[in-house]
Amino acid sequence: MTLESSPVRTDWTRDEIAALFDLPFTELVFRAAEVHRANHPANQVQRSTLLSIKTGGCPEDCGYCSQSAHAETGLKATKLMDPRAVLQAAAQAKDHGSTRFCMGAAWRNPKDRDMPAIVEMVKGVRAMGMETCMTLGMLTDEQAKTLADAGLDYYNHNIDTSPERYGEVITTRSFEERLETLEHVREAGINVCCGGIVGMGETRGDRVGFIHALATLPVHPGSVPVNALVPVKGTVLGDMLADTPLAKIDDIEFVRTVAVARITMPRSMVRLSAGRESMSDATQALCFLAGANSIFTGDKLLTAGNAGDDKDAALFARLGITPMAAECKVELEAAE
Ligand code: SAM
Ligand code: DTB
Ligand code: SF4
């Protein structure tokens, strides 16, 4: 492969992806680093900040999530935040150097009566000069258009795992419903942010199927969040991991997943997402070498803890990484 170009392919086969996972580790990371260099500025990492604008009490039964009403996590459910409070939090994130503000709600889907407040949040954050991202559950095509008209830059909607494992993790919605919302978002002209979680006790085959599902979407997601499961007591998967610690993802296998995401989706931002708090600097450094070029900053994700600004500033200084400016974002085009 030359350093000049990485063709964007959406016709990856499972066998090709499995073969990438099977490469000797240093060969895989070397190839991923080459793809990263050819498509993104070196040593630059994007910083986004998350805010939970409506926490807990979610009717969905996602086995990993602290916010599901089916879990027993003791999390207090809240109402949708006042847009003014959201804008205050966004201003603070901007002061701390974040270029994207991601707002998440623990909903199966937004109700139409919620949309005016949501639109006010998008417009307000955009007016501050930050990129906006929202994750509100399933959207109708009308709701996606409303968000697009408000100027929403990204919509996060994860497929989470392989199509065949999906029903073991979530029973209240289907993989196909996830794809439908992604289509509504894409057709409304909003950039898609779509990824998932590794370390849920899945097999290598599931990780292959997960990356395959992302890399064969009609257009690669602009951002691909790769989360490492944050095990939360009282959730199905958090409790399962507490009982079977051997199911915990191995760091090398996590880095392999990041590398395969980078190679198969060369132009996408690959975001090292949840789970960094319990990751060593060395593992995070390997993820950056393997092409991860975005993180969530701040000391909180939605409900779980995150590394925090001081730790991240120290990590960036240690690795010689500089924060990416918003303009460096790569715009994705449909594959030819
Ligand atoms: N309710 C919306 C939805 O499900 O689309 C948005 C919020 S949801 C918290 C966003 C994503 O966060 C999930 O799809 C999942 O990938 C990730 N996530 C949630 N809990 C997690 C955990 N405990 N560890 C790692 N990732 C998690
Ligand atoms: C994503 O893939 N990861 C972020 C964002 N999209 C919304 C959320 C991570 C949540 C981690 C668990 C928590 O904070 O509750
Ligand atoms: Fe609800 Fe989203 Fe959590 Fe699933 S991941 S329970 S949809 S908040």
Q: What is the tens place of the pLDDT at every residue in 14-52?
A: 999 999 999 999 999 999 999 999 999 999 999 999 999
- Catalytic site residue from 31, 100, 133, 186: 133
Asked if pLDDT for residue 244 goes beyond 90, the answer is no
Q: What's the confidence (pLDDT) of residue 298?
A: 87
Asked which of 142-156, 242-256, 291-305 is least confident by mean pLDDT, the reply is: 242-256
Whether 194 is catalytic is no
Strand 100-105 to 322-323 pairing: unpaired
If one residue of 52, 55, 62 were mutated to test the ligand 3 pocket, choosing by the most ligand atoms within 8 A of its CB, it would be: 62
Dihedral angle sign, alpha carbons of residues 44, 99, 5, 287: positive
* Catalytic residue status for 133: yes
Mean pLDDT on 228-257 = 90
Specify the pLDDT at position 336: 33
Average pLDDT estimate for 176-193: 97
Atom 14 in ligand 1: which residue has the minimum CA distance? 158
pLDDT score for 332: 44
Asked if residue 133 belongs to a known ligand binding site, the reply is: yes
Is the pTM higher than 0.85? The answer reads yes
Q: Is residue 63 scored above 90 in pLDDT? A: yes
Over 80: is that where the pLDDT of 171 sits?
A: yes
- 45: nearest Cα among 293, 332, 231: 293
Distance 172 CA to ligand 3 centre (A): 10
Q: In this model, does residue 197 exceed pLDDT 70?
A: yes
Q: Which residues pair with 47 in a beta bridge?
A: 295
Nearest ligand to residue 154 Cα: 2
* Ligand having the closest approach to the CA of 51: 2
In the predicted model, is pLDDT for residue 144 greater than 60? yes
Q: State the Cα–Cα distance between residues 70 and 127, nearest whole angstrom.
A: 38
| Mean pLDDT (the chain, rounded) | 93
Position 248 confidence tier, pLDDT thresholds 50, 70, 90: confident
Binding site membership of 236 for ligand 3 (Cβ less than 6 Å) = no
262 is in an annotated binding site: no
- pLDDT, tens only, 255-286: 999 999 999 999 999 999 999 998 999 999 99
- Domains of the chain are 14-319 (3.20.20.70)
